Chain A
């Protein structure tokens, strides 16, 4: 169980890094920046993955601080 918690924590960390950097890229991209759609897709995928993680491993299973 502790390994599961650790893995969940580590996986969430990685998604948080993707989400955090993609938010910064989006915030700094001009409205007409052609890469904007790419950044949005990265951000959307990370958000979806976080939601999926929460559904697969609900909070009551998590003992991660």
Chain B
């Protein structure tokens, strides 16, 4: 996607405080439209009914539907969607998912504002600043 274009991000986490932190990290950036969902099921409802997404940010470990399963289902609808996994333990991510796809990355929790913004910029633009 091009520089200066609007960015639509869907953040999914069952912990409201993590969603609040993601929101705060991306505040004051007029290009970003942030959608939020507390579960994979709610996230899937955004797909197709909301604006076209550029990025899915999802917790890996969630009740009912884990983040990698959510990403798999979303990808059947939006194959080119980029995905950023938030994980408390990267080793466990690779146990569940031995290989990341080209459009995927992970970010360790706890994360900083700079770390989150850098990960998003790398996924969307291939550079380190959003």
A interface residues with partner B (beta carbon < 8 Å): 9-10, 12-17, 19-21, 23-24, 27, 50, 59, 62-65
Is B89 touching A15 in the complex (CB atoms < 8 A)?
no
B127 within 8 A of A: no
B interface residues with partner A (beta carbon < 8 Å): 15, 17-18, 20-21, 24-25, 60-61, 66-67, 87-89, 91-93, 95-96, 109-113
Note all chain B residues with C-beta closer than 8 A to A64. 61, 88-89, 92
Cα(A20)–Cα(B20), bound, Å? 10
Closest 3 CB pairs of A and B: A16-B110, A17-B17, A65-B92
Give the contacting residue for A59; candidates B20, B89, B96; CB below 8 A. B89
**Could you tell me the dominant secondary structure of chain A's interface residues?**
helix
Note all chain A residues with C-beta closer than 8 A to B60. 65
Cα(A9)–Cα(B109), bound, Å? 10
Sampled A-B contacts (8; CB under 8 Å): A13-B17, A13-B88, A16-B21, A21-B21, A62-B88, A62-B89, A64-B61, A65-B66
Note all chain B residues with C-beta closer than 8 A to A27. 113
> Which of A10, A13, A50, A64 counts the most chain B CB atoms within 10 A?
A13
Is A65 touching B93 in the complex (CB atoms < 8 A)?
yes
5 more A-B residue pairs beyond the given contacts A13-B88, A17-B15, A62-B89, with a C-beta to C-beta distance below 8 A: A12-B88, A12-B109, A16-B18, A16-B21, A65-B96
Note all chain A residues with C-beta closer than 8 A to B88. 9, 12-13, 62, 64-65
